Structure formats: structure tokens, C-alpha cells
Structure 1
Amino acid sequence: MPTPTMNAIRLHDFGGPEVLRHERVPIPEPAPGEVLVRVHAAGLNPPDWYVRDGMPGIPAEFRPPFDLPLIPGTDISGVVEATGADVHDVAPGDEVIGMLRFPVLMQSGGYAEYVTAPASDLAPKPASVDHVHAAGLPMSGLTAWQYLIEVGHDHPSPFQEAAHRPVRLGSDTTAVVNGAAGGVGHLALQLAKAKGAHVIAVASGAHETFLRELGADEFIDYTRQRPEDAVRGADLVLDAVGGPTSRRFLRTLKRGGALFPVYFGEFDDEENAELGVTVTGTQVRANGTQLAELSRLVDAGALRVAVDSTYPLADARAAHERAARGHIQGKIVLTVA
């Protein structure tokens, strides 16, 4: 009997968007504790292009093993097709979302018509939105949640020994969100605002109306004004861009403040101590319970997932080319017919 097959995007070599191939491959089977999900949409995230490139900028000791060919993609929204043994909380026909196996595996198979997933990584899909918007929630939403609200795990960041502890957010808190229009940024802005914080959004001017609609109290167009010159006395900076330039935000903080770079850069512990600030990060991890809470916030109207653009699965290369151009407003999503 022929093996059932599906459409999927695979990598046979590392490189640019051109290495993404649209192919027919066998449909996977769920192992015990797993479910088979019929994918309706898959959200794109930076780890997708890090994996596609072979993660050249990551030190070898932090680089997970990759078995080629692989199907990239961690974020999905779809319908449960079948369940493996020892699965009791979801059933065929359930609409679900998930960030699958991250960061244990970065080749989780989301760019496909079907994917297997640990049942514990899944949460009910928000009923109030379609699969496209739901697929934009998992990794970006969990990153914002684990940085700002509750880490939910005790795994250390691969880039530092210090444990990450979110800052209490309230009406007496000023929070700066850099890269506020992107996937993590636009959700972090809303979570901080929901907690009552005064939120300063940093992005290019084209995103000002969008971010003010999401609740930003102040807006800084970084193309016209350097945020490190404009802000003083902040309690928290969530730098959703992170990396080598993140250190510039230290001067925006008051003593006792905290800088959370999502992509960790180089910092001086002595300088941080002299300024009286902390700099910590965490590595987002799959968590179905936290994702379910984010799903409830979407259904309650407290959290909005914005979609920058959509592409059919077969056009994954074009989706990655869009990501490479930057200035993304919300999420890029693949649709699966």
C-alpha cells in the first residue's frame, strides 16, 4: 500500500531563501504523547531563517544538531487529525495552536500540510480569529509572556548564567519596547499596557498609527530621534531587536531598572553594577499552559495579533525574502490550502 504523502517545504542545504524546496514527503505518524495536526497556517519566526542559514553566527557549543533534509517551522494553527497513545486532553477535530518542541528542536516541521506535535505544546486556537492570525501568536506571544509576565521554566539562557526575572508591571511602571511593531514587540506592548504600564514604543515612523492604536502612550521614531537620548528614568526596556546595539538602552533606565534584550548582546557586568541596573534574558520554551492563557486574552479582546503579509506554503521562499527586507508590522504567515 503506498505511503500517504503531503506537501512540505524542505532544506537539503543551508543558505538563502532559494534553498527552500516545495516537495512531496511522507505524512508523519504521532508517537505516544503526540498528535497529528492538519496545518492550516504556519507563522514565521527568526529561528526559521537562522536554521535555514545553518546558524553561522551561533557558537558551535550552542548550535543544535540538524539532520538534513529537514522541514523548518515551529508555529502552527490547525486541526487535530489523529492522536497517539497516552493523549487525553485533545481529540480529533479540535482546533489548536502551538510552538512545537522549541528550543529542543528547531526543525519541528511546521512548513507542511501535516505535523506531529507533543500534546503538551498545544493550546486551543482562539475562537475569535482565523488560523492565519492564530498562527502568528505562539512564539512571539510566548516570548513576550516569558520575558514580561512569567518565565514558566528554570532553564538558563545559553548566553548568561543569571536567572531571568520579569519586572512587576503596574501603573507606576514605565516600559520601553524597542522594535515595537514586530512580532514580539507588538504583543509585548499590549501585555505591558494590559498590566497598566506606561508604554513607550520605539519603531520607524510608518508604524506610529498602528502602535498608538495598540495602546502606546508615547512613540519614538528612531529614524528621527535616538531613543537613548529621548528617554530617562524608565523601569524596563524590552529590546525586541537586541544584539550588539542593545547596550545603548542602559542610559534610559533608572537605578533598579532592567534591560531585557531578546537577542542577547555584549554587556559589561561592572558597568551594569555601577549604573544599578540588571540585564537578563531567557530562551523561550514551548508551554501549552501559557499559550492557552494568551489564546484566552485574544478571545477577550485584550490581545491583537497583527499580520504583515501571507504567502501560500509553496511560496515560502518569497515569505523569507519578505522577512529579509525588514520593517515588518506584526507577523508573516504561510497559508496551507
Structure 2
Amino acid sequence: MEAIQYEEFGGPEVLRLREVDDPHAGPGQVRLRVVAAAVNPYDHKIRSGSLQGVFTTPLPQVPGVEAAGVVDEVGAGVTHLAVGDEAFGFTDTGGYAPYALATVVVRKPDGLSFEEAAALPTSAETAQRALGLLHLEAGETILVHGASGSVGSAAVQMALSRGARVIGTASAARHPALRALGVTPVAYGDGLVARVRAVAPDGVDAVLDTAGKGAIPDSIELRGGTAERIVTIADPDAARYGVVYTSKAERSVDQLAAHARLAAEGRLRIPVGEVLPLAQAPRAHADSEQGSVSGKIVLKL
């Protein structure tokens, strides 16, 4: 099969179409005929080599941690999926390919497109993990930095479903979409503390930073000078401020199935901002790194 692969670390230009062996499902796995694969910051961080100090990535590598498609091979021990099922989840072998193996994978809801399904797993898992660390309860107010991004969007929808009030930072162009979800939008940048206090005079109970753009000092001020109940997924300076930084994924079939149910009910959708053919993976990575696209970038096969 012809897949996107890189044989060395570097910029988006190292991504090339290569002929690679077809994978086959082992115990506990299914093989997906991939229809759509999402592009994540995690993908280009690994491709650049910047995570080599954290864990070793063998080369050559097919990128892509989440995908959606049709099950065409089932390994021993798999009972919740069958050949022909439309499914989505986290890939074991890389989603930028016609076929990918997956262990944490569930049936795709009928009302969810393949592109929307491919965009869901990582954002939903990250948002749930971060909100779990914040112990958010109904009636509380949470500030979400980067509320219009893929993880931010998942987090605000989950927080709203828990009965919380959500204030979200985003550029002015993205405020209407946030209001449509039920979020109180504010512009980020200088003067953020005053703007948040204007809409939340009683303060905020928790803060989730999905943007990583130096928002921690303002977040601490808005929390009354404490780093408690502030979580970031994007700011490596978190420890210096005593703020919790979370990065280790906690993936399970049960959790993914719960997210699929929320999506089926219309309570959890990740915005898809750009759909490109597989061969344009270098452009997809460049666009993702520049942050020039509102919503998740998806490769379509």
C-alpha cells in the first residue's frame, strides 16, 4: 500500500508517499480501511524530532494517531466489532495510510461523518482527562483558554454538559461559534484579567489552558493568587508556577464509546476546519503548525 511516511526527522517536507507493507490484525486488534485521518500537534511534534528526549520514535514512521474507516479484518479476541462495521479510534500503526491497525476503537455513530469521527478521539480524551483533574461541578465557573481549538471545543462542551458556566478565550472571529455553544467568549491578550472579571465578577472556580500562550500568570491572578485548580495541556512552564501539566493519554474502549454516545446525541462535536487528500499531508502539517486553520485538519483517503 502507498502511505505517508518519513525516514528522518525534520519539517513537513520529510513527509512523502512511500510503498509500505500492508498491516494485518493481531490479537485484540482490528484493521481499518481508512477513510479519514486527523492531523494533531502531536503528529508534527514527533515528526520534528522534538519528542525524542521523551521517548524514542523508530524510523521510518507512518504518522497519525486517530482515524475513522471500515473494519475489514478482525483479530482474535475482538467481539465488539465485525468486518464491515464503520468504526473510529486510536491507531496502533499510523493513520496516514489506506489501512491501519487499531486496538482502542469503537463503532462510529450513524450521524457522525468519517471526518468528524477521525477528529474526535484525541481531543475528547485530552479534554476529559484535564477536566477530571479540575473536579468541575455543576454551578461552577470555568475559564478555558483556546476555547475554539479542538481540545478547547471538546472541553467547553463537556463542561457545559456538567452544568458549569464556561468562559472561553478566542479571537473575535470565533466568538459567534462559542456563543452558539453557550460559552461566554472573551478576547485573549493584554487586558484579559479585566475582561474576564467584567463577565465573572465573582471570580472563576477553575481554569483549563489549552493554548499555551503565557496565560498562566493571568490565570493565577483570576484564581485569587492560587495555582490550585489550574491545569494546562500546552504550557511547559507550568511547574515553575506550581500548575498541573497533563500530557499522558489515558485511552480505553469504554471511554471512547462514551464519547461516541455524546457525539451521537449531538453533545460533542469537534469542528473540522480543513479536509485535504492524503498526498497533501505536508501542507496539512504546515497549516497545523502555523495555526492558520480554525478547527481540526483531516486527511481524506
TM-score normalised by length of structure 1: 0.82
Are 1:253 and 2:223 an aligned pair?
yes
With 319-328 and 132-141 compared, the bigger mean Cα shift is at: 319-328
Aligned residue number for residue 153 of structure 1: none
Are 1:266 and 2:208 an aligned pair?
no
State how far apart, in whole Å, the 2-side matches of 1:236 and 1:129 are.
31
Aligned residue number for residue 106 of structure 2: 123
- Please report how far the alpha carbon of residue 245 of structure 1 lies from its aligned counterpart in structure 2 after TM superposition: 4.5
Correspondences of 1:254-333 after superposition (within 5 Å): 254=224, 257-267=228-238, 272=242, 279-333=244-298
Aligned partner letter, 1:136: A
State how far apart, in whole Å, the 2-side matches of 1:59 and 1:245 are.
27
State the identity as a percent: 37
Are 1:79 and 2:47 an aligned pair?
no
Aligned residue number for residue 113 of structure 1: 98
Alpha-carbon spacing, 1:323–1:32, altered in 2? closer, same or farther (3 Å)? same
Aligned partner letter, 2:232: P
Alpha-carbon spacing, 1:335–1:22, altered in 2? closer, same or farther (3 Å)? same
- Please report how far the alpha carbon of residue 327 of structure 1 lies from its aligned counterpart in structure 2 after TM superposition: 4.5
Q: CA RMSD in A?
A: 2.0
Extract unaligned runs of 5+ from structure 2.
Answer: 198-202
Correspondences of 1:137-286 after superposition (within 5 Å): 137-149=120-132, 165-171=133-139, 173-216=140-183, 218-223=184-189, 225-232=190-197, 233-242=203-212, 245-254=215-224, 257-267=228-238, 272=242, 279-286=244-251
Alpha-carbon spacing, 1:69–1:256, altered in 2? closer, same or farther (3 Å)? closer
State how far apart, in whole Å, the 2-side matches of 1:312 and 1:288 are.
28
SS of the residue corresponding to residue 26 of structure 1 reads coil
- Please report how far the alpha carbon of residue 256 of structure 1 lies from its aligned counterpart in structure 2 after TM superposition: 8.4
- Matched positions, count: 295
1:156-191 residue CA offsets vs partner (Å, 9 max, x unmatched): xxxxxxxxx3313212x1111111111101111111
Alpha-carbon spacing, 1:328–1:193, altered in 2? closer, same or farther (3 Å)? farther
Extract unaligned runs of 5+ from structure 1.
Answer: 1-5, 102-107, 150-164, 273-277
State how far apart, in whole Å, the 2-side matches of 1:211 and 1:135 are.
22
SS of the residue corresponding to residue 176 of structure 1 reads strand
Alpha-carbon spacing, 1:267–1:72, altered in 2? closer, same or farther (3 Å)? closer
